[in-house]
Structure 1
Amino acid sequence: MSVEQDIAAVQTAVRNGGDLVVETLQALGARTVFGIPGQHALGLFDAMGRGRLHFVSSRIENNSAFAADGYSRATGAPGVLFLSTGPGALTSLSGLQEAYATGVPVVVVASQIPAAGLGARRRGMLHQLDEQRLAASQVTKSQRTIQHAAAIPSALREAWTEAITAPQGPVWVEVPQDILLAPVDVPPVQDVTAAIPAVPARAELVEEAARLLAGSKRPLVIAGGGVRRGGAEEALLSLAEALDAPVICTPGGNGAFPWEHTLSLQSWIEDVHMSELAEDADVLLAVGTSLGEVTSNYFTLAPRGRLIQVDAEARVLESNHPALGIHADAGLALPALHAAVVRRLEENDGAARDWHGASPREVVATALQTVRERLAGQGLEHELGFMAAIRSAVPDGMQTFWDMTISAYWGWSCWDSRSGQFHSAQGAGGIGWAFGAAIGGAQGLGTDGSGERVLAVSGDGCSMYSISELATARQHGTPVTWLIVDDGGYGILREYMEGSFGKATATELTRPDFVKLAESFGVPARRVSADDVEGALRDAFAAEGPNVVVVETKLRMFAPTHLDRPVTL
């Protein structure tokens, strides 16, 4: 049906406030919506039956939020989430926390009790909360409550704009039940657009940063997730090559810099040798990262040189270290910084690079070799081989989604994204994210509506948080391959407790037969040994629809390298 036919159809039907929501989202560019219907949201779902939005119904609201998050990460467009009032809205919050922490744009439309009950004494209405918006305020950039149907298009346009404005993140719009149900007689919404406001770096800060970097003997760059969100990968490469500066990526920044480049320190951010190298830099440029717990090697990083920090989120600037703070989107700051650095270098206003007698590329090669030798001394052949087998099976351009599991912790350090994208839940660190996010990502990719195959990686503990979404994947024919690494419990917590206390408590789990459980949903599944994971994944990637590969194996983490270093907090 064409847009003109859609408009003619709704003009002859009884339209309501829900139609204004659906029409506005369509005009803003939304194609897919995630969520679960609810009593107060029935007007919204009734309207969706007259629109063009593709609805993906999850089984639990937090997984709907994960799916909207994954959709946005995979496509670069905002994810859209429809929620019912009270319990449904609250259940989504843990999912939204990950999007909020990682800077993922999601537009949430939540229903509310009838407007007459808002702010009143408790009336005993089903799903009623005293302050639903207040609950959402901890995990969203902003919150709005619609008072009149006429305000819906403008409110959603403002919310959409705010979601995609750096620093990106989820926004919350709630619409009372009576407003969603009430008939409206305004024309169908067509003329609604949202433009991304620029967040450029101030010129004097760019010039000062360029002066410091050009005059540096040992510049080094830490590239965070903000580089990827800002689309600044090419500018980062140009700047690093102009400066002859080594680059190391954070878990969120994985893929921001070419893995095999001679200036690439890859993503071994948790290794002590990388911390020491960053500390030795006389100018350290941190872009799109707060230098938080993981990036700072658990707050042991203590830069001795000058720190320049660029971030679209003003609140993270200097949050962990004194710095020349530049509030800007990396996509605008890095090209400006590159141009200023090149100008200074052309004017011979720079210093020769000298890492204590070694060239930057020699320093990078030595650092990576030191990491390899350190791992080789820990008997980690099984873990390295397992991760290499997964990497060998995954096509270069495939997007991957990783739960907070030992495999993902390895992935943070050793995964080469190639031309695909690496996504993980390291922002808030909640478990159960990967499969729901992968469903959203697969739904968003592809041009024919069938999606594009992605990989989700979970442990057996994480997988139980999202196991119900096998029904979602099956219902929508979503091309997701789910790799479940079954080690009988919460493996990473087992390692932490055994390392700290000599024994683990409450980490062992009774779990189902994942193969039979998946098959009961109509999802093909197989159990293989770790030695056979590569072939099993290749077979799964060649199949149609969702499928599951279960591997029973225990993985160990590489030995911590921060325990003998002073914490800098």
Structure 2
Amino acid sequence: MTATSTTGSTVQRNGGDLVVETLAALGAKTVFGIPGQHALGLFDALSRSPLHFISSRVENNSAFAADGYSRATGEVGVLFLSTGPGALTALAGLQEAYATGVPMIVVASQIPLEGLGARRKGMLHQLDDQKASAANVSKSQRLIQHASGIPSAIQDAWTEAVSSPQGPVWVEVPQNVLLDPIFVPAVEDALAEPFDNPPRVELIREAVKWLSAAERPAIVAGGGVRRGHAEAQLLSIAQKLNAPVVCTPGGNGAFPWNHELSLQSWVEDRHVTEVLEDADVLVVIGSSLGEVSSNYFTMEPRGRIIQIDAEPRVLESNRPALGIRADSGQALSALDEALLEPHGEQANWHGATPQVTVKETLAKVVARLDGQDLSLERKFMADIRDAVPADMQTFWDMTISAYWGWSCWDSMAGEFHSAQGAGGLGYGFPAAIGGSLGLESQGKPARVLAVAGDGSSMYSISELATAKQHNAAVTWLIVDDGGYGILREYMIDTFGKATHTELARPDFVKLAEAFGVPAQRVAPENVGEALKAGFAADGPNVVVVDVLLKMFGPTHLNL
């Protein structure tokens, strides 16, 4: 079969056309990646496709951008990778998507079929087993050996990516399969519906029995609540149980910040940890109770735990619990339906109502912060929050500002995205580019905020070219403290001194301007006004602040 290119010439369709046709039929609009020798069939096919391609400058940043696109839009992120070095470079970005449950389709090229395995060595980019490299950072891996199998394989991969637990799925297509002429008809339609993942009826019944008898129920809301779009059900359940709710960093925004039952996101504060420890039934939804959400494994619950998660490996991985393997949205819907009024009437926190307990606990958090010399940090974060419009999405790198954001950021009507899943550096700016361009493709306000430190910024500094090329509406806040600030603080706290954490770095303002991106350097007290100016501008811009921030801490001790 033939196709007509944009220049009017007739070309022979190939496997690359089947890839892009299937993706378009499944609803993809945007593809991220970098061209490579074995993947040229994919990129040639893009010239005959409605798919919009975003070329990053480093493959790992392409993965972060596809991740940010998916988080911001609710759509599946699509990533094209070349063989060998290109594929391997993207793995750290995919680790974040896998750890956080971001649905992505990763199409990686491969050397020609005749070279696979040990049959021919010494081919450019060749790996012994490329799929094995992706096994730790993707839900599954497929190798397509015939063009006719491309549509079904990608459709199956898409289904798996969007089924809970969501995540990236890896598809490999050899160079010759992408390039060889085909006689497979053009893909006209494709359907990929997520697999149903409801809770077991008897487990919901048992959970209701526990909660009906509970006097001090409490809830930890993780990222699964957001992925399952279960915010309304969580609110209903919390009100029925009269239960305090704390959100993990991934769950930020799952529960109203200023609700009378909201402990907000202070999961790293000992006073909040004590409330969770005191609960006679602790409901953990879409969270592993891992390092951060258990206050660095210092939390010792004295009551029973009900844990709901779509990932079976998460259930009871850190604490014995009534484990309910299910999509958080479906599980909370079932639990909400089964819980009848007035289950929360008996809620009593040692003579105080849950509302009073929440209010007193948050007051203790504030008093604790008041007792530490943190006025600079608190005003800095407050100024950023005041400058950011209520509905703006924000993307945070692994930096001290983000650690503050995990606990104190009220996402309001926007969304909070950070790299807390795997914790790799360089996430914020490329993810924000992907998020901004995705929102633009949906016809929504595209301006977003990226926050990074000077150390993490250097991981993604080349993406200033990407942002400029695509006129991405990203305001990038770089908090410059002259080194790896978090590691500096960890080392000083542990060893009394920091070693090799200080960094020579560029003049970020001049560097951004060299890319054609407007930039300014401001004092910390002027960060709010600078951000507002950036938000009002067109295209990308950079705000640099020279400031040394400290963490509130030590968070795991009762001060």
Are 2:260 and 1:262 equivalent residues in the alignment? yes
Deviation, structure 1 residue 390: 0.3
TM-score by length of 2: 0.97
Q: Give CA-to-partner distance per residue, 1:438-460, whole Å, 9 cap, x none.
A: 01101110347797011000000
- Helix, strand or coil at the partner of 1:389: helix
1:354 aligned onto 2:348: yes
2:518 is aligned with 1:524: yes
Aligned residues: 557
Residue pairs, 1:90-489, within 5 angstroms: 90-342=88-340, 345=341, 352-447=346-441, 452-489=446-483
**For residues 504-542 of structure 1, what are the alpha-carbon distances to aligned partners after superposition, in whole Å with 9 as ceiling and x for unaligned?**
000000000000000000000000000000000000000
- Provide the residue aligned with 2:488 in structure 1: 494
Instruction: Give the conservation status (yes or no) of the 8 Å contact 1:7–1:188.
Output: no
1:184 deviation in Å?
1.3
CA contact (8 A) 1:6 1:51 kept: no
Question: Do the aligned residues in 2 keep the contact of 1:453 with 1:481 (CA within 8 Å)?
Answer: yes
- 1:68-87 Cα offsets, whole Å, 9 max, x none, are 10001001111000000000
1:65 partner amino acid: A
Distance 2:67 2:235 in 1: 27
> Where does structure 1 lack aligned partners over 5 or more consecutive residues?
none
Inter-partner Cα distance in structure 2 for 1:515 and 1:99: 30
Whether the 8 Å CA contact 1:443–1:450 is kept in 2: the answer is no
- 1:487 counterpart letter in structure 2: D
Alpha carbons 2:241, 2:344 under 8 Å: kept: no
Q: Residue 55 in 1 paired to residue 49 in 2?
A: no
How far apart, CA to CA, are the structure 1 residues paired with 2:229 and 2:192?
19
The answer as to whether partners of 1:444 and 1:451 remain within 8 angstroms in 2 is no
Cα separation, partners in 2 of 1:264 and 1:138, compared to 1, 3 Å: same
Partner secondary structure for residue 440 of structure 2: coil
CA distances 1:524-562 after superposition (whole Å, capped 9, x unpaired): 000000000000000000000000000000100011132
The 3 A distance-change label for structure 1 pair 489 and 112 is same
CA 1:548 to 1:373, structure 2 compared with 1: closer, same or farther past 3 Å? Answer: same
Q: Would you say the 8 A contact 2:295–2:556 is kept in 1?
A: yes
How far did 1:121 drift?
Answer: 3.9
CA contact (8 A) 1:159 1:171 kept: yes
Partners of 1:63 and 1:41 in 2: CA distance:
18
Contact map agreement 1:402 1:423 (CA 8 A) in 2? yes
Cα pair distance change 1:10/1:239, threshold 3 Å: farther
1:96-119 Cα deviation digits (max 9, x unpaired)? 000011111110000000011112
Counterpart secondary structure, 2:136: coil
Structure 2, unmatched stretches of 5+, are none
Q: Root-mean-square deviation (CA), in Å?
A: 1.7
Query: Matches of 2:393 and 2:557 in 1, distance apart?
Result: 34
Could you tell me whether the CA contact under 8 Å between 2:285 and 2:307 is conserved in 1?
yes
Q: Indicate how the Cα distance of structure 1 residues 6 and 246 shifts in structure 2: closer, same or farther if over 3 A, else same.
A: farther
Percent identical residues: 68
Whether the 8 Å CA contact 1:450–1:478 is kept in 2: the answer is no
What secondary structure, in the 3-state scheme, does the structure 2 residue paired with 1:456 have?
A: strand
CA contact (8 A) 2:77 2:104 kept: yes
Give the corresponding residue for 2:543: 549
Task: Give, in whole Å, the separation in 2 of the partners of 1:386 and 1:299.
Answer: 29
> 3-state DSSP class of the match of 1:534?
helix
**Counterpart code for 2:19:** V
- Separation in 1, partners of 2:398, 2:345: 43
CA contact (8 A) 2:66 2:434 kept: yes
Do the aligned partners of 1:451 and 1:478 also contact (CA within 8 Å) in 2? no
- Structure 1 distance, partners of 2:19, 2:483, is 43
- What amino acid is the match of 1:386? F
Aligned residue identity for 2:153: A
Distance 2:144 2:35 in 1: 19
